[in-house]
Structure 1
Amino acid sequence: MHLIRAAQAVPYQAHGHTGVDSRRLQGSEVGGPDKAAVSVSTYLPGSAVAASPTAADTIYVVLAGELELNGHLGEASLTLAAHDSVFLPRGEVRSLRNRTAENAMLLVVLLTEIGGADERPAHL
């Protein structure tokens, strides 16, 4: 068992994220699973993630609030609300924005390649 208390979650600044408070809960620099990293991010009103490719297969689960998700392969914008989830394969270009006046919380699960820690993207 590998327990990380909320107070032990490691803050980090993800590339292209503005106004987003991200905390690593499991994997990567906090230890735990070799093939996944789990984070929770708080999106302040007006915060955004610039269009960029995902570093790994990624699952988003909105825990609270609403976020606008834009795919960049011709998909329409999607509004994600509490308990909505989406899977993005590695390399899919996406952007996110909190267009509301309330904070939004997003659980992020990054799945690394089969083979373990040696194949984990360097910036997870």
Structure 2
Amino acid sequence: MHIKRFQDAISYEAPNHFGCHGLRLQGFEENGPKNQWIGFSQFLPGGGAGPDSTPFEKVYVILEGEMTVIIDEKETVLGQFDSCTIPPNEVRTIQNRRNDVCKILVVIPYPPETQK
């Protein structure tokens, strides 16, 4: 078992994100997960990301607040404990349109060049 305490999570800056503070909860470390890494993103009011895509799928789980996900001009609002999978190469924009912080758990596979 590999334990990492929240206080030991390392912050990171995700490309094309704004009004966001990201913490890496698991991954990119010795004895950590081998297939994916887990991020915890906190989006301030007005914060978001995109539009962009990745060559691999990702999963968002909303822990607190609401996040609007926009794909092909279709908007979907995700609330607490809602989740979604964004397929590889699907262009998405996410926006926190509320006046409170949106907290998201993000599950992303390692890029092929960093597979453990």
Do Structure 1 and Structure 2 share a fold, with TM-score over 0.5?
A: yes
DSSP 3-state at the match of 2:84: strand
Counterpart residue number, 2:57: 57
Report the residue type matching 1:99 in the other structure.
Answer: R
Match of 2:98? 100
Task: Give the aligned residue type for 1:92.
Answer: E
Superposition pairs of residues 34-73 of structure 1, within 5 angstroms: 34-71=34-71
> How far is the alpha carbon of 1:42 from its aligned partner?
0.4
Once the two structures are TM-superposed, the CA of residue 48 in structure 1 deviates from its matched residue by: 1.3
Q: Does 2:105 match 1:111?
A: no
**Residue 25 of structure 1: aligned partner:** 25
Distance in 2, matches of 1:7 and 1:104, equals 19
AA aligned opposite 2:77: T
| Residues 78-116 of structure 1, C-alpha deviations (whole Å, 9 max, x = no match) | 001000000111221111110000001000000247xxx
Conserved? CA contact 1:52–1:94, under 8 Å = yes
Most deviating of 99-108 and 22-31: 22-31
Give the aligned CA root-mean-square deviation in angstroms.
1.9
Moved >3 Å (runs of 4+)? none
* In 1: Cα distance, 2:45 partner to 2:56 partner: 26
For 1:77-88, what aligned pairs fall within 5 Å after superposition? 77-88=75-86
Q: Check whether the contact 1:58–1:108 (CA below 8 A) recurs between aligned residues.
A: yes
Distance 1:47 1:56 in 2: 23
User: For residues 52 and 29 of structure 2, what CA distance do their matches in structure 1 show?
Assistant: 22
The number of aligned residues is 115
Q: Which amino acid aligns with 1:18?
A: F
SS of alignment partner, residue 28 of structure 1 = coil
Query: Matched residues, percent identical?
Result: 33
Residue pairs, 1:2-17, within 5 angstroms = 2-17=2-17
Which blocks of at least 5 consecutive residues in structure 1 are unaligned? 114-118
Q: For residue 16 of structure 2, what is the amino acid of its counterpart?
A: G
Query: Counterparts of 1:66 and 1:30 in 2: how far apart (Å)?
Result: 34
